Structure 1
Amino acid sequence: MTDTATAGRERAPAGLFGRIGAQNISLLIALVVLLAIFGVLRPDVFFTPRNLINIGLAVTILGILAMAQTVVIVSGGLDISVGSIVGLSTMVLAVAAQETGSIPAGILAGLLAGLLAGAVNGLIIVYGPVNAVIATLGTMSAFRGLAYLMNNGNSIPITGDSLRALGIGTLSGLPFAIWLLIAAMAAFIVFTRETVVGRNIYALGGNPTVARLAGIPIRRYQISIYAMSGFAAAVAGLV
């Protein structure tokens, strides 16, 4: 028993290192070095609260998209059309808000548009069946063209306190957009690590054949994952 306990203690650091990953640790070290360099070069600007908030706002959209794409990639897929879904969902939001005179209705329409666009990707990939790269490369152009045709390529000005608050409003000194990113990060961690669905997604990406034999509904999962990716793109577009 003593030998087992000792071996367990000896394996613990290696297990922790393995969970974090050597590549991730090297990226974190590189990030710390970069921050140190910028901080030394411009200590009067870089680490000021205003600059840090600006950096947080700059990475909000990419952060939300990156988390959704991580789930897609972990499942063994790829979504190239996510940028076009951002544009399509924002155009749907603007048109719906203009036609109905209601910002909440426009927001709902934009989110639904992203969800449906992602589901279309999933249906093409699963029931086509078409390779994910080819399918989303095609829908990237299709969604972009649809967004263009909705108003002949012209921008649509919309005003609303709720949208303005989401973009520039603050809560406890931090913009709402950054709080949204923090909430998305927390949900992402819990979803991927603590839920059965999250573990099934890892299994799906690791070995689809074993996942199918284990009773995981692969097609349903794949369509749902791409729909989630589209919804996340719509949220990013809303921000």
Structure 2
Amino acid sequence: MAVNRGAALSALDVMRDAPVIPVIVLDDVAHAVPLARALVAGGIRMLEVTLRTPEALDCIRAIASDVPDAVPGAGTVRNAADAHAAIKAGARFAVSPGYTRSVGETCREAGLPLLPGVATGSEVMAALDGGYKELKFFPAVQAGGLAMLKAFAGPFHDVRFCPTGGIHAGNAPEFLALPNVACVGGSWIAPPELVRAGRWDEITRLASEAAALRRG
């Protein structure tokens, strides 16, 4: 189903669209559109293109222009300048490895849904203080994994998480079974070796399997 580009999008919309948000690293703009089409064909539309390469913004721009069924987002947003650049490139949402007031305020003022990264109770409280209740738990496995998310459920009962970092096809179902987990983030759906080889059918298969995962 095509995404209405004029429709307002919330962070919860991003998290609920599919069980998995792919974490994508692209260093060749030529791969952006076929990759996005392959993921959409498998049922994954929310695409986090990380700002880890010089080509990332051009990749977001290409997806936004040529793949209307995809919803491109910018990952690794670390400051206000990153957020502004992502918006200019056509990003519909942002994901950050941590939370700062500057990033939070910039995204809110621009109407850009943000999933800020947190790893501790204090960081969750800082994000809540900034008005954010949909958060990226990062790095998920290294920061305590399932046990930490279960511990968060008590004091932060109104927060929904997207665990990212160390998540793969084998452990994703355990995370998705938790009631405070709305989705997970992972790179296994679009591994660099398959992207470089142009194995789009294989990526569509991985996306289809991810889209079929059940949430708690």
**TM-score normalised by the chain length of structure 1:** 0.21
More strand by share: 2
Which structure ranks higher in relative contact order (CA pairs < 8 Å, sequence separation ≥ 6)?
Answer: 1
More helix by share: 1
